[in-house]
Amino acid sequence: MKRLIVTLLINAVALWLTTLLVTGVHVVPFEPGSTLEVVLTYLLVALIFGVVNGVIGTTIRVLAFPLYVLTLGLVAFIVNGFLLLIVHWISDAIGFGLVVDGFWWGVLAAFVLGLISWVLGIFLKPVTREPRKR
pLDDT at 42 over 70: yes
Residue 34 lies in a domain: yes
Tell me whether residue 50 is in a domain.
yes
Does residue 7 belong to any structural domain of this protein? yes
Residue 84 located in a structural domain? yes
How far apart (Å, rounded) are the C-alpha atoms in residues 95 and 77? 27
pLDDT band at 129 (very low <50, low <70, confident <90, very high): low
Average pLDDT over residues 89-96: 91
- DSSP letter for each residue of 11-60: HHHHHHHHHHH-TTEEEE-SSTT-HHHHHHHHHHHHHHHHHHIIIIIHHH
Q: Is residue 134 part of a domain?
A: no
pLDDT reading at 103 higher than 90? yes
Q: Does residue 96 register a pLDDT over 90?
A: no
For residue 36, CA distances in Å to 7, 13, 19, 42, 93 come to 20, 14, 17, 10, 22
DSSP string, 64-108: THHHHHHTTTTHHHHHHHHHHHHHHHHHHHHTSEEEESSHHHHHH
When pLDDT is cut at 50, 70 and 90, the band that residue 128 belongs to is low
Between 32 and 28, name the one with better pLDDT: 28
| pLDDT surpasses 70 at 97 | yes
- Overall domain count for the chain: 1
Confidence of residue 133 (pLDDT cuts 50, 70, 90): confident
Averaged pLDDT of the chain: 90
Q: Per residue in 67-91, pLDDT tens?
A: 999 999 899 999 999 999 999 999 9
**Domain for residue 133, yes or no?**
no
Q: Closest Cα partner for 15 from 104, 120, 89?
A: 120
Dihedral angle, C-alpha 109, 112, 115, 118, nearest 10 °: -50
Please give the residue range of the domain that contains residue 30: 2-128
> What's the pTM?
0.86
